[in-house]
Amino acid sequence: MVDLATDTDEYVNPASALYLTIIGMWLVPGTHRNALTVAEGVLIDNRNEYLYAFARGQGESKSLRPLIYADTASVVHSSRVEALRSFDKAFLDQARQLAVH
């Protein structure tokens, strides 16, 4: 079972005051988008409820763009991909310890 939790943070910096001009919305990088994703997963035997493995991965993505190009979805996607890669490595390390020789 794997669970993903993502938190986003969106804010502007002082340069965003230039957004009052139409050109500023296209050229001034004043909009920040940050995303943090945590992926947690477990490998459980359903019959006896024995926990075989637990792993956690984390991914973070940041973006500083002009208002017109600021896209939260792409930042969230990047953080989720990074979190799943981190989780994959940690989970495989845990699962390798289960191998019976």
**pLDDT tens, residue by residue, 45-86:** 889 988 888 999 999 999 999 999 999 999 999 999 999 999
Dist CA 32 CA 72 (whole Å): 9
5-37 per-position pLDDT tens digit? 999 999 999 999 999 998 999 999 999 999 999
The domain segmentation of the chain, as residue ranges, is 2-96
Dist CA 95 CA 45 (whole Å): 13
Which residues partner with 60 through β-bridges? Answer: 36
Residue 100 — φ and ψ, nearest 5°?
A: -95, 130
Q: What is the DSSP letter of 2?
A: E
Q: Model's pTM, two decimal places?
A: 0.83
